[in-house]
Amino acid sequence: MAKIIILNQATIFHNYSQIDALSRTTWGLYKHPDVKCIHYYGAYDIDDRPVTGFPSIPARGEVLMFDDDRMLVGANDGNGPYFDPRGEKMMLAYEYCLKHFEFDFILRICNTSYIDIEAMVKYFNSIRKERIYDGTRNMYNTEIFFVTGFNSYLSRDTVEKVIEHKQDYLDIKLPEDLALGKLLMHDLKYTTFEDQPHVDTHVLATEPGFKPDSFVGSERFNYRFRSHTVDEYVAFHNYMIRRYQKD
């Protein structure tokens, strides 16, 4: 059976505290013996002010764990003017997982996602465990293939390869998910989309009047709902609980 870590790129900056609570109080409560869910936060905002609500703050480059499912990373959490400093946040989270946990895959998402854990486990048990870099496939400027950060999964050996080239990654002045694709698929020629299995695992709901009933019969496991109000996020998660939360 595949061992899986879900890394939820969370934040409570930018008035995200209510949205952050949704993942931890809905699908994040469901326990599975082969799954570890970690909600990880940057310790500093873009102006270097520390986050509040944690017992202590890590120094730059350090990582602290709280309550077994919250990770506070000594990096910035927010968009910079020319690049995305969350790349350092992601690298530190990956590195910590390699040092402290056994796993076959890391699924990285964001805190506007809803995960059907049973469907996720079924999927990862159906694919190989080596040289996997996949998820919601994308392309930048018709020249860089990459996997979008809210649905990105890597096998353990791929995480090891990324950490081996950590500084090369951090030197790429592109948003974190795009930089990862550039490193793995273009600079290192580590993998291509053609040499691995893939299923569409992502639903993006942005249309006015969106109806969650469109999920009926879906085998996808990662649902991301984008809206402009917290109330709509709450309603979406409540709907997903009724369909997917296990007793």
Contact 27, 119 (CB under 8 A): no
Packing angle, helices 17-25 and 230-244, rounded to 10: 0
Whether the predicted pLDDT of 247 surpasses 50: no
pLDDT (0 to 100) of residue 172: 93
State how beta strands 35-44 and 202-205 pair: unpaired
SS3 percent helix, strand, coil of the chain, rounded to 5, is: 35, 25, 40
User: What gap in Å lies between CA 187 and CA 21, rounded to an integer?
Assistant: 38
pLDDT computed for residue 94 by the predictor: 98
Residue 173 is classified by DSSP as: -
Output the pTM of the full model: 0.90
Q: 4-244 is classed in which CATH architecture?
A: Alpha-Beta Complex (3.90)
> Residue 53: left if φ>0, alpha if ψ -120 to 50, beta else—which one?
left
| Range picked from 71-80, 116-125, 206-215 for highest mean pLDDT | 116-125
User: Given the structure tokens 């930089």, which residue do they identify?
Assistant: 179
Residue 236 CA to residue 240 CA, distance in Å, equals: 6
Tens digits of per-residue pLDDT, 27-51?
988 899 999 999 999 999 888 899 9
Q: Which two tokens stand for residue 153?
A: 């999964």
- What are the backbone angles phi and psi of residue 107, rounded to the nearest 5°? -100, 120
Element (H, E) at 203: strand 202-205
**Spatial separation of the C-alpha atoms in residues 115 and 85, rounded to whole Å:** 25
Q: pLDDT per residue over 98-142, tens digit each?
A: 999 999 999 999 988 889 898 899 999 999 999 999 998 888 888
CA distance 196 to 207: 31
